[in-house]
């Protein structure tokens, strides 16, 4: 009995060690698909149908409207348009469309407008001025660069958003996000080194280089605007809701519209619109249709991005922003016959990789917090 009692723990320990060393069966591909399917069905049932309808509409608006607006900007210049102020004005002239969405939202959500303090008012004025300058820089970029190239260079705004967010708002940065910044910068460098392959015949080498410079500067300013907007939410508003985001977008767009309108008048471009429309390829109707749809598509993209951020997350908005870059580039190649060199394809792949790394890093931060 003594020997049996002494041997029993050893045998139990050996059995437990064998069980611990036994390999854990891995899930098959079908099991993983079934698990994700169950998770998606559960997520779908947790939200009402109107929620999913609005989210899908927001996603469509982001991945269709923003690329369409970029393509139309290039169509304007390719068919005889010359004014940079007109294109920057078109980007903000549609701000009343968002106001029409906001007014009934007050009644539906039973909320009141956010009180407008002096410092909040001045913040909107500053952001409006920066947005006006940002739109003007992008207008110069699309005047001298193919739409596919301009879209790829503009993706560097993610780099500046992360840097300014880290400096101004104390956003966290992990290894994946830092890797994304270097990867996207590498893609931008490839575009700069391959500048001779996609330059239009009517664009000089100096104009092409200035287009790249304006595009990078506009992307940097775009990143600063995002960081300052987030700082306003943190320091002044203290909350983030669909109504508050719409209010901020309307106020910033309103002041950007006022600044851009003054600039367009002073430059004389409003007075030259009639002459420009007459010489536009396709005639006056085509000229005004391009400008109108540029304004409408840009505001639809802004509204869609607002809806996605509020209904889902900034990570999903980042995914859609990543998808927007190749959509714009491919659409420009198909519709505008933009040249697509091997270096540009490599830059596109690298940029997409950088977006993926950034999204993964952001999702890891969200899970930790």
Percent pLDDT > 70 in the chain is 80
Q: Compute the distance between CA of residue 183 and CA of residue 99 in angstroms, rounded to an integer.
A: 38
The span from the CA of 317 to the CA of 328, in Å, is 16
CB 235 within 8 A of CB 296: no
- Determine the length of the chain: 369
Question: Could you tell me if 187 and 354 are in contact, meaning their C-beta atoms sit under 8 angstroms apart?
Answer: yes
Q: Tokens 């999204």 identify what position?
A: 359
Report the pLDDT value the prediction gives residue 365, as an integer from 0 to 100: 61
pTM score of the predicted model: 0.79
**Whole-angstrom distance, CA of residue 139 vs CA of residue 187:** 22
Pick the closest to residue 157 from 179, 129, 134, 136 (CA basis): 134
202: Cβ contacts below 8 Å, ≥ 6 apart = none
Mean pLDDT of 191-197: 67
Residue 157 has pLDDT above 90, yes or no: no
**Domain boundaries of the chain, sorted by first residue:** 50-366
The neighbour count for residue 39, using CB atoms within 10 Å, is: 10
Higher pLDDT, 209 or 2: 209
What is the residue-averaged pLDDT of the chain?
Answer: 81
pLDDT at residue 83 greater than cutoff 60: yes
- Give the per-residue pLDDT at 17: 47
The structure tokens listed for 251 are 């106020």
Give the CA count within 13 Å in the CB-facing half-sphere of 209: 4
């Amino acid at each position: 009995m003594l020997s049996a009692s002494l041997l029993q723990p050893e045998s139990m320990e050996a059995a437990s060690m064998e069980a611990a060393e036994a390999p854990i069966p891995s899930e098959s591909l079908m099991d993983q698909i079934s698990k994700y399917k169950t998770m998606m069905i559960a997520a779908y049932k947790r939200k009402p149908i109107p929620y999913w309808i609005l989210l899908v509409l927001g996603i469509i608006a982001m991945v269709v409207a923003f690329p369409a607006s970029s393509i139309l900007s290039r169509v304007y210049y390719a068919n005889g348009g010359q004014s940079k102020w007109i294109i920057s004005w078109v980007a903000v002239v549609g701000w009343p469309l968002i106001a029409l969405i906001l007014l009934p939202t007050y009644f539906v959500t039973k909320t009141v407008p956010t009180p407008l303090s002096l410092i909040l008012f001045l913040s909107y004025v500053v952001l409006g001025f920066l947005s006006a300058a940002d739109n003007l820089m992008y207008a110069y970029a699309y005047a001298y660069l193919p739409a596919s190239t301009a879209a790829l260079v503009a993706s560097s705004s993610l780099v500046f958003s992360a840097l300014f967010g880290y400096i101004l708002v104390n956003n966290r940065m992990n290894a994946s996000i830092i890797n994304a910044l270097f990867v996207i910068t590498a893609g931008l460098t490839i575009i700069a080194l391959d500048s001779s392959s996609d330059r239009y015949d009517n664009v000089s080498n100096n104009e092409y280089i200035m287009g790249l410079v304006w595009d990078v500067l506009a992307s940097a300013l775009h990143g600063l605007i995002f960081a300052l907007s987030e700082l306003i939410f943190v320091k002044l508003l203290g909350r983030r809701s669909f109504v508050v985001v719409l209010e901020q977008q309307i106020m910033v767009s309103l002041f950007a519209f006022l600044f851009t309108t003054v600039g367009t008048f002073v430059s004389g471009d409003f007075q030259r619109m009639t002459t420009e429309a007459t010489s536009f390829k396709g005639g006056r109707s085509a000229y005004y249709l391009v400008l109108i749809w540029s304004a409408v598509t840009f505001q639809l993209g802004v509204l869609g991005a607002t809806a996605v951020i509020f209904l889902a997350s900034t990570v999903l908005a980042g995914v859609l922003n990543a998808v927007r870059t190749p959509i714009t580039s491919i659409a420009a190649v198909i519709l505008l016959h933009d040249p697509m060199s091997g270096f540009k394809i490599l830059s596109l792949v690298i940029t997409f990789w950088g977006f993926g790394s950034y999204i993964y890093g952001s999702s890891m931060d969200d899970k930790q917090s």
